[in-house]
């Protein structure tokens, strides 16, 4: 297990620790010899929940149980003391750990670690924003010099909430400098912003809503050459299309609210990290198992934790992730092609379009997982997700006329849904950051963000077409 090395271990506690060490060794072997050999779909469907778990502990329930309970009871004081010193696996108190969130965490750790030969672990959070806060916070702690002017480097093309968290909460309120990278494909720009007070590099890709992208391997190498971790927000791709840890990233943050769930039932997030990550923070536990470290210490004290009901609902959505991301990506491609040809559309940003400036780079990274084992494909195929954006000719007014004319596509500040959803970022998700920051991030007033759902693309296209006729 982790922390608390200064606790005296009694003989009775040791008995519990020994028994649990056998269980943990068994689990490790099961993961290594069985689960890690499964295909992606099998992991998504089962995760670590086994027939044996069900029969031994959960009345044979074939679905992971939802443990609404706040706390766990112990057999005796020895078990309690061992558990609260984190010497044995424990549910102790649901702010810290819970059996339902445990299964959710393992499924995500295994999916993000699919194809990676090292180990990964996951800490669930109550939202994507909580995942980002939780992931960056440990790297910002004061080291020897209390007056050190700490900084980090991040892609300016990012989710509006992330921009606010970094520029307002960290920069303005905490005096921690966020150095924005304007062109994430320019490695020299990344490099020029790193100095001895830099704590981590952070990048979102593909970015929401502009579909920014960067060379993960090159940026990870750069980070590691400075003894820094690379944190990646991979919400838009999901592990079905991209697994940044396989390309050298140290930590992935997910807003599971989005494509991972797609049903639209609630807000949730996750931090997934590889074991033994790279950092200039002097803390062995943090390096060895980052997810466990934040789960047992920082998040115990801050409390941004996931509800067990939400954990199981999200887990249930994730079982079909691969086939869903395939369908949604194909639909988005059809819609992007339609928009590209439309006379009332000024430009379309979709990484799948061959004339997108980042198409080639994105095509190196965005692959439908296991397509080579799929009867339908039998070879690797690129898939680019279901987020796209486009600009309507004639400025903001026409964009709003088009937007208001949509009949079945939902107007909402949401994405990743099984239903098509559109928004105008400048008046919604990216409204608070103001004109200047919006222009840095490349978000004009006439930009519409569209997340294509699982409806038949013919019907989605028909709705777009009739609304575009109203514009201009
Ligand atoms: C929505 C979103 C977030 C924030 O997630 P919540 O679950 O809404 O807190 C972070 N990053 C990206 C890319 C997002 O789209």
Ligand 1 center to 310 CA (angstroms)? 16
The pLDDT confidence band at residue 4, using thresholds 50, 70 and 90, is low
> Can you tell me which residue has the tokens 């980052």?
290
Q: Where are the domains of the chain?
A: 97-318, 321-469
The protein residue with its alpha carbon nearest to ligand 1, atom 9, reads 128
Percent of the chain topping pLDDT 90 = 93
331, 386 Cβ separation under 8 angstroms: yes
**Region of 55 on the Ramachandran plot (φ > 0 left; ψ -120 to 50 alpha; else beta):** alpha
pLDDT mean across residues, the chain: 95
Predicted confidence at residue 431, as pLDDT, reads 76
Distance CA 128, CA 414 (A): 13
Angle at the Cα of 97 (from 92 to 416), degrees rounded to 5?
160
Considering the domain 321-469, what is its CATH architecture? Answer: Alpha-Beta Complex (3.90)
The 151-155 sheet, strands edge to edge? 120-125, 269-274, 251-255, 230-233, 198-204, 151-155, 177-181
Nearest atom in ligand 1 to 268's CA: 7
Ligand 1 center to 316 CA (angstroms)? 20
Ligand 1 center to 384 CA (angstroms)? 18
Measuring CA to CA, how many Å separate 396 from each of 157, 205, 407, 413?
21, 26, 19, 17
Q: Which residues line ligand 1 (CB under 6 A)?
A: 127-129, 159, 161-162, 204, 208, 233, 235-236, 255, 257-258, 267, 269
Element (H, E) at 32: helix 11-33
* Fold: same for 97-318 and 321-469: no
pTM (predicted TM-score): 0.96
**Environment class of residue 239 by beta-carbon count within 10 Å: exposed (0-12), middle (13-18) or buried (19+)?**
buried
Give me the CATH topology for the region 97-318. 3.40.640
* The two structure tokens encoding residue 256: 């599971």
The protein residue with its alpha carbon nearest to ligand 1, atom 4, reads 128
236, 385 Cβ separation under 8 angstroms: yes
20, 89 Cβ separation under 8 angstroms: yes
Nearest atom in ligand 1 to 129's CA: 9
Provide CB contacts within 8 A for 84, sequence distance 6+: 90, 92
- pLDDT tens profile 57-83: 999 999 999 999 999 999 999 999 999
The pLDDT confidence band at residue 1, using thresholds 50, 70 and 90, is very low
Taking residue 77's Cβ as centre, other Cβ atoms within 10 Å add up to 11
Predicted confidence at residue 149, as pLDDT, reads 95
Taking residue 109's Cβ as centre, other Cβ atoms within 10 Å add up to 25
* The two structure tokens encoding residue 375: 């009867």
Predicted confidence at residue 5, as pLDDT, reads 67
């Amino acid at each position: 297990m982790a922390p608390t090395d200064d606790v005296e271990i009694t003989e009775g506690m040791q008995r519990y620790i020994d028994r649990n060490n056998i269980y943990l060794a068994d689990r490790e072997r099961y993961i290594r010899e069985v689960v890690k050999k499964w295909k992606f779909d099998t992991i998504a469907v089962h995760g670590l929940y086994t027939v044996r778990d069900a029969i031994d502990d959960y009345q044979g329930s074939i679905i992971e149980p939802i443990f609404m309970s706040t706390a766990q009871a112990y057999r005796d004081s020895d078990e309690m003391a061992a558990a609260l010193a984190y010497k044995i696996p424990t549910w102790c108190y649901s702010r810290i750990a819970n059996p339902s969130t445990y299964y959710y965490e393992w499924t995500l750790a295994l999916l993000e670690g699919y194809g990676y030969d090292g180990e990964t672990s996951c800490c669930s959070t109550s939202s994507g924003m909580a995942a980002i806060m939780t992931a960056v916070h440990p790297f910002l702690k004061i080291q020897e010099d209390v007056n050190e002017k700490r900084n980090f480097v991040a892609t300016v093309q990012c989710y509006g909430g992330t921009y606010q968290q970094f520029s307002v909460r960290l920069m303005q309120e905490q005096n921690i400098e966020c150095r924005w990278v304007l062109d994430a494909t320019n490695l020299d720009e990344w490099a020029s912003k790193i100095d001895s007070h830099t704590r981590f590099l952070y990048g979102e890709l593909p970015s929401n809503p502009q579909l920014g992208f960067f060379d993960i391997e090159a940026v990870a190498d750069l980070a590691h050459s400075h003894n820094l971790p690379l944190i990646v927000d991979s919400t838009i791709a999901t592990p079905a299309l991209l697994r940044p840890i396989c390309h050298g990233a140290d930590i992935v943050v997910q807003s599971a609210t989005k494509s991972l769930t797609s049903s639209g039932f609630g807000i949730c997030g996750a931090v997934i990290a590889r074991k033994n990550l790279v950092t200039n923070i002097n803390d062995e536990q943090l390096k060895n198992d980052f997810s466990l470290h934040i789960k047992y210490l920082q998040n115990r004290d801050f409390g941004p934790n996931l509800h067990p009901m939400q954990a199981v609902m999200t887990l249930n959505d994730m079982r079909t992730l691969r086939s869903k991301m395939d369908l949604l990506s194909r639909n988005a491609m059809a819609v992007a092609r339609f928009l590209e040809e439309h006379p009332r559309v000024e430009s379309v940003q979709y990484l799948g379009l061959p004339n997108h400036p980042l198409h080639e780079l994105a095509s190196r990274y965005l692959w439908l997982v296991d397509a080579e084992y799929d009867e339908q494909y039998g070879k690797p195929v690129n898939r680019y997700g279901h987020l796209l954006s486009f600009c309507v000719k004639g400025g903001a007014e026409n964009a709003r006329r088009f937007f208001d004319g949509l009949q079945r596509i939902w107007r909402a500040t949401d994405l990743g849904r099984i239903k098509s959803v559109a928004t105008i970022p400048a008046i919604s998700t990216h409204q608070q950051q103001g004109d200047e920051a919006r222009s840095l991030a490349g978000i004009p007033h006439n930009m519409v963000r569209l997340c294509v759902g699982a409806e038949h693309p013919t019907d989605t296209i028909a709705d777009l077409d009739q609304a575009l006729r109203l514009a201009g």
